[in-house]
Amino acid sequence: MVIIKDIKQRLRALDTRDVSLIVVFSALMAITTTYAIPLPFGGLAHFGNTVMWTASILFGGLIGGLAGGIGGLIVDLLLAPVWAPFTPFAKLASGLACGFVSREIKSINNVNIVKIVLAVIAGAVVNLLAYAPVYSLLLGQGAMVTWLIRFFTPGPGLITYIVTPIITLAVMRAYPRVMTYRSSIKERTRLKSNS
């Protein structure tokens, strides 16, 4: 229940900066998901999750999750409408999990690098589990089992898990002020909840 309370407070504190980030990352998510590799058992392998998880780590799980859900929804509506009812919820959950694990990162050090890697793994596991029943519903049990096994096999998914921390750390090194964004969110949320 604490997480739901935090999400409600965070939604009340959304401002134009947050909306701008959601729009930009939604567009990036849509572009990187559009150029996807079809999987033989259904679904797609893409780098959209890299965009979503990077946004979740840098700007918070709500921003990353909403951007992932909106960007993924746009692609689904254009290319595979049958997935559209499920994607926003799966991506929101994945982004929130990633953002939750990576909170309080204010510098680049070994502990925070491990947190970033764990955040990506958390986002990936939630994404995997959120889509598993969808695969079963839309494509059958065999596709669901193959989807779950895919998490542990080399391929585009594994590359995504490696690329996301690298990109995130590169952004943090190039733009150190990005690490102060999440603390500004905390302050804005606190101010909104007091008013």
Instruction: Tell me the pLDDT tens digit for each residue of 30-82.
Output: 999 888 777 665 566 788 999 999 999 999 999 999 999 999 999 999 988 99
For residue 161, which of 118, 107, 109, 111 has the smallest C-alpha distance? Answer: 118
Range of 64's domain?
2-187
In a domain, 104, yes or no: yes
Q: In whole numbers, what is the pLDDT of the chain averaged over residues?
A: 87
Query: What per-residue confidence (pLDDT) applies to 70?
Result: 97
In a domain, 32, yes or no: yes
Query: What per-residue confidence (pLDDT) applies to 1?
Result: 58
Tokens of 26: 């939604």
Q: Based on the structure, what is the number of domains in the chain?
A: 1
In a domain, 83, yes or no: yes
Neighbours of 121 (CB within 10 A): 18
pLDDT tens for each residue of 121-155: 999 999 999 999 999 999 999 989 988 887 777 66
CA 181 to CA 33: how far, in whole Å?
Answer: 26
In a domain, 193, yes or no: no
Query: What per-residue confidence (pLDDT) applies to 128?
Result: 92
